[in-house]
Amino acid sequence: MKIIISPAKSLDFQKELPTNEFSMPLFLDDSISINKTLKLKSTLQLKSLMSISDKLADLNWQRNNDFKTPFDVKNARPAIFTFDGDVYTGLDAFTLNENKINKAQESLRILSGLYGFLRPLDLMQPYRLEMGTKLELKNSSNLYEFWKEKITEKLNNELIENELFVNLASKEYSSAIDPKKLITKMVSPIFKDFKNGNLKIISIYAKKARGMMVRYILDNEVNNEQDLKGFNYGGYSFNIEETQTSKELVFIR
């Protein structure tokens, strides 16, 4: 099976790594090309392009200019131990044992505006480039145009027809995939919580739940839709009444 998740804006390059294993990004040549474009941007241009503060513009101008290859363990870090947002809190990657890290490497893909997608142990350098950024590149007016065909083709090369494919990425990132060209159905779980007596998608809880579902899949060796419906981490449970289609399984708490 395959799982996709979004990256995080927050990064951690300090915490001690639980493994010495690493791999190289599959689209690194494309990342280098994108970085060359980013390096031409001033801090003011980055601020406008990304709608970020002066401080973040300065930081990411420096990141863009510090980007260098070849990647190694001195200048880069495995992705799953670097992203540090709500999804990754739910996943809790630092407590995965070696066997589960290897399973994650086989099944989990982290979508990225700079890297296309990253496997968990793929090395990455610090960056900020959301998939929705309207960055013009050679022959592409934005990152979706640049990445969609590449990412979809690579995923199809990895997928087996009718294999379980779980979309735990945000709409911004999952839109970088062309579902019509996938060789299997994409299942997109939805997480709802009760608030003021009504079921709602609450962003911070939904993000953490996506990470918890990744962890559930790895912990329980889930490989089919029925087992996926057994997800019960964080107090969530599958709700058939709220589920309108098999492509969008709804979990509530």
| pLDDT at residue 53 tops 90 | yes
pLDDT of 138 higher than 90: no
Q: How many domains does the chain have?
A: 1
Measured CA to CA, the distance from residue 151 to residue 143 in angstroms comes to 11
Q: Which domain holds residue 37?
A: 2-252
- What confidence tens digit (pLDDT) does each residue in 23-36 have? 999 999 999 999 99
Of the pLDDT bands very low, low, confident and very high (cuts 50, 70, 90), residue 139 is confident
pLDDT for the residue numbered 162: 87
Distances (CA, A) of 106 to 72, 176, 199, 202: 21, 20, 34, 30
Q: Taking 90 as the threshold, does the pLDDT of residue 145 lie above it?
A: yes
For residue 243, the model assigns a pLDDT of: 97
Kindly report, residue by residue over 9-28, the tens digit of the pLDDT.
Answer: 999 999 999 999 999 999 99
Q: 126: closest CA among 10, 41, 239? A: 10
Q: How many CB atoms lie within 10 A of CB 213?
A: 26
Indicate the pTM of the whole model.
0.97
